[in-house]
Chain A
Amino acid sequence: MIHSTAAEMATKLAAGEISSVELTQQHLDRISVVDGQVHAFLYVDTEGALSQAAAVDAKRVAGEKLSPLAGVPLALKDVLTQKGIPTTCGSKILEGWRPPYDSTIVSKLKSAGIVILGKTNMDEFAMGSSTENSAYGPSHNPWDLTRIPGGSGGGSAASLAAFEAPLAMGTDTGGSIRQPAAVTGTVGVKPTYGGVSRYGLVAFSSSLDQAGPCARTVLDAALLHEAIAGYDPRDSTSINAPVPAVVAAAKKLDVKGMKIGIVKELSGDGYQAGVRSRFDEAIEELVNAGAEIVEVSCPNFEYALAAYYLIAPSEASSNLARFDSMRYGIRVGDDGVRGAEEVMKMTREVGFGKEVKRRIILGTYALSSGYYDAYYGSAQKVRTLITQDFAAAFSKADVLVSPTCPTTAFKIGEKSDDPLGMYLNDIATIPVNMAGIGGMSLPVGLAPEDGLPVGFQIMSPAMKDDLMYQVGGTLEAALLRKWGSPILSNAPALGAN
Chain B
Amino acid sequence: MSAISRDEVAHLSRLARIEMTDSELDHLASELDLILGAVARVQEVAGADVPPTSHPLPLQNVFRPDVVTPSLTAAESLSGAPASAEQRFKVPQILGDAE
Contact B77 A306 (CB under 8 A): no
Contact A384 B32 (CB under 8 A): no
List B contacts of A357 (CB < 8 A).
Answer: 18, 20, 24, 28
Contact B92 A207 (CB under 8 A): no
Contact A100 B76 (CB under 8 A): yes
Known: A236-B59, A361-B12, A436-B57. A98 touches B42 (CB 8 A): no
Alpha-carbon distance between A375 and B46 when the two chains are bound, in angstroms: 10
Alpha-carbon distance between A434 and B76 when the two chains are bound, in angstroms: 36
Alpha-carbon distance between A194 and B58 when the two chains are bound, in angstroms: 12
Alpha-carbon distance between A374 and B44 when the two chains are bound, in angstroms: 10
Interface residues of A in 323-343 (CB under 8 A from B): 324-331, 334, 336-343
Contact partner of A378 (CB less than 8 A), chosen from B13, B43, B77, B98, is B43
Q: Which residue of B lies closest to A383 (CB)?
A: B53
Known: A338-B92, A345-B18. A381 touches B80 (CB 8 A): no
Interface residues of A in 246-263 (CB under 8 A from B): none
Q: Is B85 an interface residue (CB 8 A)?
A: no
Contact A387 B89 (CB under 8 A): no
A374-390 interface code vs B (CB 8 A; 1 in, 0 out): 11011111111101000
Contact A375 B56 (CB under 8 A): no
Contact B50 A381 (CB under 8 A): yes
B1-35 interface code vs A (CB 8 A; 1 in, 0 out): 00010001100110111111000100010011011
Question: Whole-angstrom distance from the CB of B74 to the nearest CB of chain A?
Answer: 11
Known: A309-B35, A327-B89, A365-B32. A379 touches B42 (CB 8 A): yes
Q: Is A486 an interface residue (CB 8 A)?
A: no
Q: Is B68 an interface residue (CB 8 A)?
A: no
Q: Which residue of A lies closest to B64 (CB)?
A: A233
Question: Whole-angstrom distance from the CB of B86 to the nearest CB of chain A?
Answer: 16
Contact B98 A331 (CB under 8 A): no
Q: Is A62 an interface residue (CB 8 A)?
A: no
Contact B32 A362 (CB under 8 A): yes
Contact B51 A381 (CB under 8 A): yes
Alpha-carbon distance between A261 and B41 when the two chains are bound, in angstroms: 27
Alpha-carbon distance between A127 and B6 when the two chains are bound, in angstroms: 24
Q: Is A237 an interface residue (CB 8 A)?
A: yes
Contact partner of A349 (CB less than 8 A), chosen from B19, B44, B93, is B19
Dominant secondary structure at the A interface: helix
Q: Is A420 an interface residue (CB 8 A)?
A: yes
How many of chain B's residues have a CB under 8 angstroms from any CB in A? 56
Alpha-carbon distance between A250 and B82 when the two chains are bound, in angstroms: 47
List A contacts of B50 (CB < 8 A).
Answer: 381, 384-385
List B contacts of A7 (CB < 8 A).
Answer: none
Contact A236 B62 (CB under 8 A): yes
Contact B81 A383 (CB under 8 A): no
Contact B80 A99 (CB under 8 A): yes
Contact B20 A349 (CB under 8 A): yes
Contact B57 A239 (CB under 8 A): yes
Contact partner of B46 (CB less than 8 A), chosen from A331, A382, A387, is A382
Known: A193-B56, A364-B12, A378-B46. A327 touches B18 (CB 8 A): no
Alpha-carbon distance between A331 and B80 when the two chains are bound, in angstroms: 11
List A contacts of B82 (CB < 8 A).
Answer: 325-326, 328-331, 334
List B contacts of A340 (CB < 8 A).
Answer: 91-94, 98
Known: A339-B92, A339-B93, A340-B92. A303 touches B56 (CB 8 A): no
Alpha-carbon distance between A348 and B62 when the two chains are bound, in angstroms: 33
Interface residues of A in 379-404 (CB under 8 A from B): 379-385, 387
Contact partner of B36 (CB less than 8 A), chosen from A99, A233, A365, is A365
Contact A310 B57 (CB under 8 A): no
Alpha-carbon distance between A307 and B57 when the two chains are bound, in angstroms: 18
Question: Whole-angstrom distance from the CB of B59 to the nearest CB of chain A?
Answer: 6
Q: Is A358 an interface residue (CB 8 A)?
A: yes
Known: A327-B89, A339-B94. A349 touches B18 (CB 8 A): yes
**A-B interface, 10 closest residue pairs, ranked by CB to CB distance from nearest:** A436-B56, A339-B98, A380-B52, A378-B46, A331-B82, A328-B80, A349-B19, A236-B62, A381-B46, A100-B76
